[in-house]
């Protein structure tokens, strides 16, 4: 199985999301969104869940909308890759 590296628009995040903390915020953020639902998900709840400060989350994403745009772009990139490679 080929490994695919996603190149996302850097303007969607405020810091490099390939860092260990960036990857953790993205991973645990998505898990928590699925668990709580989009309306109930907040950066405060994510920070509490992760045991970090809310400010740390805001260092990576300006708001929940930007984080969602990041996830959607990643999903679209994976789908486009799958369509190109069959």
Domain ranges for the chain: 14-85
Domain 14-85 of CATH type 1.10.10.60? yes
pLDDT for the residue 35: 97
pLDDT for the residue 40: 98
Cβ contacts of 56 within 8 Å, gap of 6 or more: 21, 25, 47
pLDDT tens string, the chain, 86 residues long: the values are 456 565 667 777 888 888 999 999 999 999 999 999 999 999 999 999 999 999 999 999 999 999 999 999 988 988 888 888 87
For residue 75 the two structure tokens come to: 């999903």
pLDDT for the residue 71: 93
For residue 17 the two structure tokens come to: 């999301």
């Amino acid at each position: 199985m080929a490994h695919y590296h996603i190149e996302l628009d850097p303007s969607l995040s405020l810091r490099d999301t390939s860092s260990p903390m960036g990857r953790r915020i993205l991973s645990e953020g998505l898990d928590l969104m699925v668990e709580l639902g989009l309306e109930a998900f907040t950066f405060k709840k994510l920070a509490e869940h992760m045991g970090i400060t809310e400010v740390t989350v805001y260092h990576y994403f300006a708001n929940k909308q930007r984080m969602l745009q990041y996830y959607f772009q990643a999903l679209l990139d994976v789908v486009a890759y799958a369509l190109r490679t069959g």
